[in-house]
Amino acid sequence: MDRNARTKACAAAAAGALVLAGCSGGTKNAENAGNTASGQTSPPVSGAGSDLERQYERVVDAVLPSVVKIQTDQGEGSGVVFDAQGDIVTNAHVVAGARKIEVTSSGGGSPANASLVGAFAADDLAVVRVKGGSLKPASWGESGKARVGQIVLAMGNPLGLSGSVTNGIVSALHRTVSTKGQGSFQGSTIADAIQTSADINPGNSGGALVTLDGQVIGIPTAAASDPQIGAAAPGIGFATPSDTVKRIVPQLIESGKVSNSGRAALGVVVRTIVDPQTGRRSVAVVEVQKGGGAAAAGIRPGDLILSVNGTATPDQSALTTVLANLKPGDKVKVEIQKSDGSKRQVQVTLGQLPGGG
């Protein structure tokens, strides 16, 4: 075929059909076309994508053995090995009220009995211990160095599926997240929570939020709920930061209690009350702790706490959220209402939130 005829043939083929051979004028292309037609595939493509995939695999291999399944007579969740003595970090709500606790490695095997060392409900953290095991401690990073957009993996046991891994990014930092009380768990308010797009499902609680260098920077704790549909909002999960874990957990291991919570307290016991006529909610003081900041400021049982530093506190959750972003020793302005209906503003020096066992 002369050049003109060949050019016309190629143009016609390009316009109406797939050209398998001959239009570039080389024998090599004809051979490659024949290979494609005979079912052979092109070699794998290497590059940044495959490098990222291999890093995912390395992180999973390194960290997943430190993530365990926790089963109780109340439910199930996840945990992360904290040290070589068999101490495991989880969420307080995972083990609240449990009479029996069992731990199973992410690799499977027989469950081991565990005992509760201590819990600090305010930060939704607890420690359980397995004796005589050979569990691998995780490497704990600094959540204070986390960056929005940073790739993270969530490891745990969602819906009972042991050793599951999801991926996402750090979506936001320094969130204040409140969780509802349920059963024996009184609820919590976590300051400096990490928001992530990695899927967090029931059973992920107490697991690990991990960076691509294999550092645990958070304990997945809660998923946001969509009030319109009454179900979890996809792609919005929250984790207790590792800096909080590293402050609270050693205290629980040492004594089963938290003496230095780093969290502020007014020095009162309160409850939310509702006016039956207006439906208005208020925070009522039930008890004033002797020697605390509230007592020194003249707050008494029966008083209503209306606001702190200008932020309204219509219920316990609102009050806890305000206090979660303050520190012991801070001086705050508290608006109160006395039993006779009079209102006044007092200054309170905040104390330390105590931590039960």
Residues with active-site annotation: 93, 124, 205
Burial 45-64 (b: 16+ CB within 10 A, else e): eeeeeeeeeeeeeebbeebb
* Of 245, 244, 255, residue with least CA distance to 324: 244
Contact 162, 68 (CB under 8 A): no
Q: Output the 3-class SS for the chain.
A: CCHHHHHHHHHHHHHHCCCCCCCCCCHHHHHHHHHHHCCCCCCCCCCHHHHHHHHHHHHHHHHHHHEEEEEECCCEEEEEECCCCCEEEECHHHHCCCCCEEEEECCCCCCEEEEEEEEEHHHCEEEEECCCCCCCCCCECCHHHCCCCCEEEEEECHHHCCCEEEEEEEEEEEEEEEECCECCECCEEEEEEEEECCCCCCCCCCCEEEECCCCEEEEEEEEEEECCCCEEEEEEEEEEEHHHHHHHHHHHHHHCCECCCCCEECCEEEEEEECCCCCCEEEEEEEECCCCHHHHCCCCCCCEEEEECCEECCCHHHHHHHHHCCCCCCEEEEEEECCCCCEEEEEEECEECCECC
